[in-house]
Amino acid sequence: MFFLVFFLIYFIGNVYIIFRIARDLNLHGLSFYIFFAVYIAAAVFSFWAMKFSRENSASEFAAVISKAGYIWLGVFSISIAYFLLSHILFIFNHSQKFMFNTTLVTIILIVISSVYSVINTCGVPRVKEVEINVKHLPVDKFTIVQLSDIHIDVSTKYDDIKKIVDITNSLNPDIIAFTGDLADINIAKTYKEYGLADLKAKYGVVAINGNHEYYTGVGLYEYVCNSLDWKLLNNENILIDDKFYFAGITDIKTSTYFNNKKADVDKAMNGINFEKPVIFMSHQPQIFSEVYKKYPITLQLSGHTHAGQIPPFDMIEYFIYKYFWGLYKENYNGKESYIYVTPGTRWWGPPMRLISKNEITKITLRR
C-alpha cells in the first residue's frame, strides 16, 4: 500500500514537473524530446534504485546506485515544493515571459538548494549541547548523549558510524540514549564492523525501537541490542544508580500496525518512584502531550521527524508535529517537563538536509 501511494504521488509529481518546464520554457520538437527522455530516464532510475537498495546487501556498487537514486528523489521533492510555490505567482501574472523567467529562476534555486543539501550532510554530525536546569536533581549534573535515526543502509560505510562512535565517546557521557531507527538493512552479522560495540558511557546504553525496527525486523534489532549489551526498553523502565529512571516504549504507531509489543506508557511507568528524575524515551514525539499531563516526567527524548530534512517535508512536518525539532518546555500542575526532539544523527533516504544538520546531542541536566 505504501509503495502504491508513493508511486501514484511520484507519477503525478513528475508529470507536473515535466509539464511546467516544457510549457514555461516553451520547449518544442527536438528540445522537448531530449528533455523528456533524459528526465524520464532519471525518474525511472531513481524509483528502481530505491527498490534495488532494499533487496541487496551492502557493497560499493549497491552504495553508488542507492545514493544516486535517493539524491534524485530528493531533487524531485525539492522541485515539487519550489514549483508549487512559484505557481502561486502566476495568479498575479501569467504572461509567457513572466512564466519563463519565474520557472528559470525556480530551476536555478532547485539546483542550488539540492547541491547545498547534499553538501550539508557530508562530514561528521555536529555536536549540539543542551543544558536543562532540574529542581532537586540528586547530583550536580548528569550527562546524556542522545543518538537517533542512524538509518544504516547499503550505502553506509563502516567508518561513517565509527566516527559517530568516536565523537560520542569523546563527550564522556554518563549514559547514551538511543531513540530508534538504527538500520534499514539486516546488520545482525555485521554490527561489529560499524564499531557500535565500542560505545562507552558510565552507565552504558539504553535504547528503544523506532518504526524502522519493525520494517527491518524487531527480532533482529533485539538480537543486535542484546549482543551489544544495550538495555532495550520495551514498555519498561530501569533505575540508574538509584538516582534516575529511564523509561521507554515501543514505537507508538508501528507497534500497533504490526500488532507486536504495542506501545504501553502505563506499563513503561509501572513501579517508578516519581520523587526521582524520570527520562522517558519515545521514538515519535507527539505522545509527549499525553505523557507529561499524566506522569511528572523530567524529560522526554524523541527523534523520528528528521526536522523534515528537505522541502516540502520540513514545511509539512512543522505543522503536523507540535514538537517538531529542538527543546520544548511544558508546565502542568506546577511541574516542569521538557522534551528534546533531535533532527537525527544521520538521515533517511536522500542524503540531503536543507535547514537542519545531522546531530549528536549532548544533554546536560544541572541541579
- What one-letter code names the amino acid at 215? Y
What cell does 358 get? 545531522
What cell does 1 get? 500500500
* Among candidate residues 265, 293, 285, 290, the one with its CA nearest the CA of residue 339: 285
Mean pLDDT value across residues 87-109:
95
| Cα–Cα dist 367/208, whole Å | 27
| Cα–Cα dist 243/332, whole Å | 23
Mean pLDDT value across residues 164-169:
98
| Cα–Cα dist 200/197, whole Å | 8
- pLDDT reading at 2 higher than 70: no
Strand partners, 126: 359
What cell does 275 get? 520523587
pLDDT at 57: 62
Q: In terms of DSSP bridges, do strands 326-332 and 335-341 run parallel, antiparallel, or are they unpaired?
A: antiparallel
- pLDDT reading at 46 higher than 80: yes
| Cα–Cα dist 311/314, whole Å | 5
Torsion of CA 182, 329, 290, 240, to 10 degrees: 60
Q: How high is the mean pLDDT of the chain?
A: 94
The CATH homologous superfamily of the domain defined by 126-366: Metallo-dependent phosphatases (3.60.21.10)
Cis before 312? omega within 30: yes
What cell does 22 get? 516544457
| Cα–Cα dist 359/119, whole Å | 15
In tens, the pLDDT along 328-355 reads 999 998 899 999 999 999 999 999 999 9
Where do the domains of the chain lie?
Answer: 2-119, 126-366
pLDDT confidence tier of residue 63, bands split at 50, 70 and 90: confident
pLDDT at 19: 96
pLDDT at 25: 96
In tens, the pLDDT along 301-329 reads 999 999 999 999 999 999 999 999 999 99
What cell does 362 get? 549532548
Print the SS3 string covering 117-162.
Answer: HHHCCCCCCEEEEEEEECCCCCCCEEEEEEECCCCECCCCCHHHHH
Phi, psi of 51 (to 5 degrees): -65, -40
* Among candidate residues 244, 246, 343, 341, the one with its CA nearest the CA of residue 289: 341
The answer to whether 337 and 351 are in contact (CB under 8 A) is no
| Cα–Cα dist 110/129, whole Å | 32
Task: Identify the residue with better confidence: 28 or 47.
Answer: 28
- pLDDT reading at 39 higher than 80: yes
Q: In terms of DSSP bridges, do strands 335-341 and 299-302 run parallel, antiparallel, or are they unpaired?
A: parallel
